[in-house]
Copies of this chain bind each other. A is one copy, B any other.
Amino acid sequence: MTDPTVRALRLLSLLQTHRFWSGGKLAERLEVSARTLRRDVERLRGLGYRISAEPGAAGGYQLQAGSALPPLLVDDDEAVAIAVGLRVAAVGGLDDAERTSLSALAKLEQVLPRNLRRRVAALQEHISPVVWGEHKRVSADVLAQLALTCRDRERVRFHYTARSGEETQRLVEPHSLVAQGPRWYLIAWDVNREDWRTFRIDRLAKLHGTGVRVQPRQLPGENAAEFLKADRPGAAPQYEAMFRLHMDRRSFHTHFGAWGRDAVENAEGVMEWRVRGRTPQEVLAYMFWLPDGVEWDVCSDDDAVRAAASAFRDRLAQLAVR
């Protein structure tokens, strides 16, 4: 432990895993004298990390929240947990979080050792049914891989099945990923066709990078989301329904928190809550999260939602003791 650089990292790591350390302990761990340790702490402070210290018998050093984030030193298990969380966020449709989740994921996956990557993939499969739906599932693997190639402007090859069912092989320069409702799209420059194309990611197979990196290209139009909107109008249909709950405003908000902020109290003790979803089923799924013992009903203008509802009702009517 003779290199100051190594020590700086180790020190940060130690301060991240146990909040309090005495100088003596730290010096021992780092195999340096107490004086040198103080100098190391001083250096980290100079770098912007807020390390507080307390004198006295119960004293010690502590890494505090500062204005800048220190490098995160995580162990294997934690890295797996982070990767899984990010993949759920990216695929599960967490609104705005999607894009940044992907960029963080790209960073992590780039350096994730192979065995950890396997664990992530295994865990990923246990995750919530939120990722299901009518549409084909988007593979988080593919998404993570594409995020990397977009970032690095690396050409990729894949097979693509067009809406017509025709299957073609493509060689493209990825530009960006956009989530549109339940679907993910890749916007890329198609090398053979010499034009911009959008690809639905669930239609794409046998993806692999070519290792060839290219100069970034200028996408026509404002940004990727705008481009997609122009290219695929109406790609994100929305379904909605209205729930009417017999509960007072306070208990409603206690139960639903920020989720229910759109609800209005239409009469004393009756909350009206308009919910939206990507599929009729998803809209109706809200009913499973209503509190027990509360009177409610649901209504909708939308034929698709009502058709789904009556289908569910018929099925439930047949529920039998096994």
Q: Which residues of A line the B interface, CB within 8 A?
A: 3-6, 8-9, 12-13, 16-20, 43, 47, 58, 63-82, 84-86, 88-89, 92, 94-97, 100-101, 103-104, 107-108, 110-114, 116-117, 122-123, 125-130, 132-134, 137, 148, 151-152, 154, 213, 242, 255-259, 281-282, 284-289, 291-292, 296-301, 306, 309-310, 312-313, 315-322
The answer to whether A242 touches B322 (Cβ under 8 A) is: yes
A301–B322 contact, CB under 8 A?
yes
CA separation between A133 and B255, bound complex, in Å? 9
Q: Do A104 and B82 touch across chains, with their CB atoms under 8 A apart?
A: yes
Does B129 lie within 8 Å of A289, measured CB to CB? Answer: yes
Q: In the complex this chain forms, how many copies of it are found?
A: 2
Tell me the minimal C-beta distance from A267 to chain B in angstroms. 15
Q: B92 touching A128 by the CB < 8 A rule? A: yes
Q: Smallest CB–CB gap between A180 and chain B, Å? A: 18
* CB closest chain-B residue, reference A295: B315
Residues of B within 8 A of A130 (CB): 128, 130
With A299-B320, A316-B313, A320-B299: A71-B71 Cβ-Cβ less than 8 Å: yes
Partner of A281 from B78, B95, B101, B288 at Cβ < 8 Å = B288
